Amino acid sequence: MTRREARSAKAERREVVMISSGIEALGGGIDRDNPYVNKGTADAQRAGVVVFTIYSPSVGHYGHSFWRETIGQSFLSQLADETGGEFYISTIGSPVSFAPFLEEISMRLQNQYLLTFDAKPEKKAGLQPVRVQVNHEDADVAAADKVFVKASM
């Protein structure tokens, strides 16, 4: 692909807004190395999907356990951070309205910039770490911490 073709090609944007308690009822551990969260993050990164998460408490037994709520919030934050999205929470309880969160997500989606870079393909396709930073004191960047790179030919 020539540079001109690359510039004129439209970048396919994919975003998901997930409203969840983040509580993993199947178990999998309570630390940052939860296999279900890690798989969801890897699948989103592989597909190039940015995940925005909004905390909403669970009902029933899992909904009134402070430590489960805290862990669930951590999982939602991890998923959002590692895919380039944001985590939204109002308080420990249910948000009165999702509208402020959805408005901010909409604003973020309207103010995106396309960043292109060359990744070094390995023998096997897989996730590679990436670090994005800006050298301006008033700038803030949300970006995935890994990107899916196809195998070399």
Strand, coil or helix: 93: coil
Percentage of the chain beyond pLDDT 90 is 29
pTM (2 decimals)? 0.79
- Answer yes or no: is pLDDT of 1 > 50: no
Instruction: Indicate the domain borders of the chain.
Output: 12-113
Positive or negative: CA dihedral 21, 25, 26, 27: positive
Q: Span 12-113: which CATH code?
A: 3.40.50.410
Strand 126-129 vs strand 146-149: parallel, antiparallel, or unpaired?
A: antiparallel
Alpha-carbon distance of 115 to 66, in angstroms, equals: 40
Task: For residues 62 and 69, give the distance between their C-alpha atoms in angstroms, rounded to a whole number.
Answer: 8
Question: What span, in angstroms and rounded, lies between the C-alpha atoms of 46 and 79?
Answer: 13
Q: What is the pLDDT of residues 26-53, one digit of tens each?
A: 766 666 678 888 899 999 998 889 999 9
